[in-house]
Each structure stands twice: as C-alpha cells, then as structure tokens.
Amino acid sequence: MSDREAPKPPTTTDGPTAAPRRTSDTVVFTGSIKDFLAQEAAGDAGPPTAGPMVELTGVRKVFETTGRNATTQVEALRDIDLSVASGEFISLIGPSGCGKSTLLRIVGDLTSVSGGTVTVRGKPARQARLDRDYGMVFQAPVLFDWRSVQKNVELPLEITGMSKDQRAARAREMLALVELQDFGGHHPWQLSGGMQQRAAIARALALDPALLLMDEPFGALDEMTRERMNLELLRIWDRTATTVIFVTHSIPEAVFLSNRVVVMSPRPGRITTIVPIDLPRQRDVETREMDRYFELVTEVREALRAGEGGPGGGQDRPGAGATGDAARRVAAEGIGG
Amino acid sequence: MTGRSVGRQALTVVLFLVAVLVIWEGVKLLGGDPWRFQDASGQEIVYQPPFEWEVAGDRALPHVWTIWNALAAPVQRQQTESLGAFLVGAALYTGREAVLGFIAGAVLGVILAALFVHSKLAERAFVPYVVASQTIPILALAPLIAFAFGNGVVGIVIVATYLTFFPVTIAALRGLSASDPRAMELMRACAASKWAIFWKLRFPSSLPYLFSALKIAATASIVGAIVGEGNPGGSQFGLGRSILNFNEQYGSGPEKLWAAILAASLLGIVFFLAVRLVEHVVLRGRPKADVG
C-alpha cells in the first residue's frame, strides 16, 4: 500500500544521527510551495545546524492549584535532561500522571516551565512556536466541523497567509500523503476515527514542520486501526524530514515506532531509562514478529515496572501480546482504517 | 434536508394557527353571544350558546370571520383603502424598523461579546451594566429615547436595537468562549493571531449559540419597533400606531384591533422563520445544525 505513491521516498535507512534530512534534496514537495515555506521560515537561522533538534536541560514543572484555604503544589516534572537529534523518532512512555504529556506541551510551548531551559533548533521554545516549527497532533483529531477535510488541512496555511491556489495544492498533496485524497470534500464527522486522525496528521504536516509533536494520537483508536496507523506514520515519517516526539502508553507502539523510547516514572515525573531501539530502520508487519522486537518490548516493560518501584505496575497488561497477535492477523488481511 | 426541515417548521406554524382558530371559535361556541346566520332562504337562524362568558362575547373576542371580513372592508368610513391593505403597509413599515434594529442589535451584541471575550476587565466592568440595562422597562425608556433622538425612525430603531442586543451579547459571549480548548491550542501551535483565532475558530464555533439568540432577537426587535412607534409622538405610521388608534376605536370595532394584533404576530412569525432559514443555510454541513 505504501509504495502506491509515485515519487520514491528518499532513502533514510541511516540511523537517527544521520545528517539532517530537512534539506533541499527532499523531493517530496513541489517547488513553489517549498519556496513559500522557505520564505515563511526566513526568520529561522538559515538551514538547520547539525545540533540537536530539541535540548531539555534541568526542566522542572510545578503546578499550583489554589484551593479555598491554601495553595497546593504538585511537582509534575523534575530534572528532565533530554536531547533529541534531528530526524529522530522519540517516544515518551510512562504511567498516567508521569508528566509525559506535560513534557510534550513544554516542548511545544503550550505550557511554561518552572525551571530549566528548553531549546528547539537552538531557539527558545516560544520562538520556535512563533516560527511555526511545530506540527501538533492530539489524541482527539480536533478537526473543525464546519470545514471540509480539505479546508481543515488548509487551516494552518491560511494562518500563514499562503495564497488560495498554493494552499489548495499543498493540502491535496498532504491528503494524498495520508491517503485521503478522495475525501477532501467530506466533512470530518463523515470519516472514521482513523481517517480523522490521518486528516489531523495531514494538517500537522501541512507547514512542513521540523518537529512533529504527537500526544497519544492513536490512543482512541482500536488496536487494528492503531497498528495500521503505526505503519502509515512510519511511511510518512520516511517521506518527510520531520523529527517526531510521540507520547504513548502502549509499549508495543513505542518500540515499533521509535529510535529511542524514553521511560518515565510518576510523582514527580522523571526520566528513569532511555531504551535505544536497535531494530532495522525499515520496519513493517514482520518487525513485530522479530525476537529482538519482543526483547525490546520486555526491556521497556521492565523499565516501566522498575520506575513504578515494584511489581504489579499499572501499565503492565498481560494480555497485550495476545491482542496484538490477533490484531496483526486481521490488519494483514486489510481490514481497518 | 434544509428545505424539508424548514417546511416542517412552516407546517407546525400552520397547525398551530388552526388549533388557535378551533379553540377560539370553540370558546365562543360554548360561552359567547348568540350566533346569527342566514340560511339559503334568507331566514335568520339564531344559535344560543349554553353558557355566557364575558371573555367570549363579541366585544371581547370577535368571531374569526368578523375579523376576516373587516380586513376587506375600508379602514375608515369614506376611505377606499381596505384594512388588510392598510395593515400590510403598516407591517412593512414596522418590519423595516425592526430589521434595522435587529441588525444594529446583532452587530452591537457580537462586538460587545468579542470585546468581553478578549478582556476579562471589560467583561467584569460592563457585563453588569448590560444586564442592568434590561431591568429598565422599555415603556419607561422609549419616551427618553424619543426625546433624545427625536421622533421618527431613528428613535424607533434604537428601541428595537435596545431589545435586540442583550440576548445576542449574552449568547455570543457564551458561544465565543465555548471553543474547544484543544482547538485553541492547535491555533496557538500554528502561532495564529488573535484576529485569526477569532474569525477561524471562535466565531464559527459560536454560530449555533448566536442563532439561538438571533431567533429570540427577531421577535424582540418587532416588539421594540411596535413599542417605539406607540410611544407618544413615536410615529404616524406602522403597526404600533395602528394598534393604539384601533385601541381607541375599540368600542366601535373590536375586530380592527384584533386584525392589527394578528398582523403583528404574523410579522413576528415571518421574521422568525426568515432567521431560521438563514440559520439552516449557514449551519449546513455541521453534524448538529439544530440547537433549538
């Protein structure tokens, strides 16, 4: 299915630390729109440097809730140090309340830090947001009901002031990338959950962001659709130059997608382990059947349990493997989406 | 779908009118004055209702056909214009004022709501006054407005605006602040300006709320125009003036006042349905177009 598209994706079989892929030889997009986006990004410090895409140093986050009598402080994140290389796919995983979503929102400048520094492409997170370096995908697709799917994808382009023809062309291109080219005229509520989330991904990619932030994007989908979407996402990631930070609570998903899995523990949220995923870069349905894949799933699971401070940690679902098996068989037969 | 839904709405209105007629004549049948008919030979037949209720008498509640016949009769003795034609003219006159007041009130309401939604300070400072403004009876205020803006259309439009802007402000304020917080974050992630957030997110998502208020405002604007006209020195024309005049002549022809009231309510229904039609067109393609 993924090789139905005409242009051959740029081969990116190198590891995450390969030279930045966000260069002019990325032939996925047509010239004029590329020019526009280059213009749009003219405020940036030229082409991306070889430095990290995201650099977090000593990040702290304390939430203050003012009650009737007193102000209670909840420490959501403590001493977060993390460096994400350009072109890398990173997953943040941890039990509920470990602050993984908060961390993602801090990178995206949707939440402020209480301490420490966040730089994205060498700039403060706020500047990166104003430069439109981000694409965001949430657990809910958050499509606008009153707009067609095509117009939803055009929304960020409208905000940047791109001309009507250019944004229509760009949106069609993005819809083709997520294989929704026949659904541009539909309204979001006429699509299935998986299709809505693909439209949300198309919208997030419309501005050709350097960094894609995904907060449990497939968490609301059924297992079959989720596995299919994982493959789709890897295909899209291969064809764009985007760095991805991906929040999930699914161990198999994190292992399957990532270059590195960042394991977090709750109260306060800390990074306990970072598990490098040394699976071959080209991943497909068979990856999920490799021995190494299962070893890595186990490794992440044990890291999670260690972080919980004992056995019986909340995220360990004994049945997950079996469910995955069944889902994989059905997905291979082409159902879903 | 749109056409059918509006059609159903119109049918409901017709059924309602039929029900009113049946109850109206039913009450007269039970407790009104004696009914007099002439049969084919010119012989008079008298029907005596079983009860005698003052409210059902011909003076308080004329027969529907008396009102109907009055519409075709001259509006005054020695005049050629029929009451029906006169009332249509008066309704158009009043309708024009009401529409102007409606538009002014809707625009004012949305602007105020937009101001309040962007400034907590403005909201805290002014919303109490917006609410307080509606506690002053319009009957007390209308003469003041006429005094300030002179007799004529401007003063009347202001009265209609006054009754219109309030429900629009409150509903628009609620609608503009009801945007999905995740959608707000999405706009933030795109570094959208406040202007872009307003026009691309806040305003479109407020439209179902806004239309609920506009339907209330449509009828309120007609009440406002009628009160404005009826105000001493308000206007020489329009339904408000007619209602006052026919009120004075009630003893000699109660059916004229009833006809004027009928015209006023029909005007209100037409305006309401027009707003509803616009709502259907504007909100087409949304999953839940019908909010009431």
Q: What is the ipTM of this complex?
A: 0.75
Position B171 pLDDT exceeds 60: yes
At B102-142, the pLDDT tens digits run 999 999 999 999 999 999 898 888 988 888 888 888 888 88
Q: Do A142 and B287 touch (CB under 8 A)?
A: no
pTM above 0.80, yes or no: no
Tokens in use for A334? 């082409």
Query: Letter for the amino acid at B153?
Result: V
CA distance A135 to chain B (A): 7
Contacts 24+ apart (CB under 8 A), A219-222: A219/A139, A219/A248, A219/A249, A219/A250, A220/A139, A220/A140, A220/A193, A221/A193, A221/A194, A221/A197
Rounded to 5 degrees, φ, ψ at A47 are -65, 150
Q: How far apart are CA A290 and CA A282, in angstroms?
A: 13
CA distance B153 to chain A (A): 38
Q: Do A155 and B285 touch (CB under 8 A)?
A: no
| A161–B contact, CB cutoff 8 A | no
Q: Do A159 and B192 touch (CB under 8 A)?
A: yes
Q: How far apart are CA B75 and CA B61, in angstroms?
A: 19
Tens-digit pLDDT profile for chain A (337 aa)? Answer: 444 444 444 444 444 444 444 444 433 444 455 555 555 554 444 444 457 888 888 888 888 887 777 788 888 888 888 888 888 899 999 888 788 888 888 988 888 888 888 888 888 888 888 888 888 898 888 999 899 999 999 999 999 888 889 899 999 988 988 888 899 889 998 888 888 988 998 898 888 888 899 998 888 888 888 888 888 888 888 888 789 999 998 898 899 899 899 999 887 888 888 888 888 878 887 888 888 888 888 888 888 888 776 444 444 444 444 444 444 444 444 433 3
Q: Do A130 and B189 touch (CB under 8 A)?
A: no
Query: Cβ distance B184 to B119 under 8 Å?
Result: no
Torsion of CA B282, B288, B291, B292, to 10 degrees: 90
At B6-35, the pLDDT tens digits run 788 788 888 998 999 999 999 999 988 888
Q: Do B190 and A156 touch (CB under 8 A)?
A: yes
Nearest to A132 among B190, B196, B200 (CB): B190
Q: For residue B207, which residues of chain A lie inside 8 Å, CB to CB?
A: 146
Bridge-based pairing state of the strands A134-137 and A211-215: parallel
Q: For residue A146, which residues of chain B lie inside 8 Å, CB to CB?
A: 204-205, 207, 283, 285-286
Position B1 pLDDT exceeds 80: no
Mean pLDDT of chain B: 87
Query: Cβ distance B171 to B279 under 8 Å?
Result: no
The side-by-side arrangement of strands in the sheet containing A115-120 is A71-84, A54-66, A115-120, A123-124
| B291–A contact, CB cutoff 8 A | no
Q: What confidence score (pLDDT) does residue A35 get? A: 58
Q: CA triplet A164, A170, A171: central angle to 5 degrees? A: 90
Position B218 pLDDT exceeds 90: yes
Cα B128 from chain centroid (whole Å): 26
Tokens in use for B161? 């605006």
Cα A110 from chain centroid (whole Å): 16
CA distance A144 to chain B (A): 8
Q: Which residues pair with A60 in a beta bridge?
A: A115
Q: Which of B1, B190, B209, B286 to probe the A interface (max A CBs under 10 A)?
A: B190
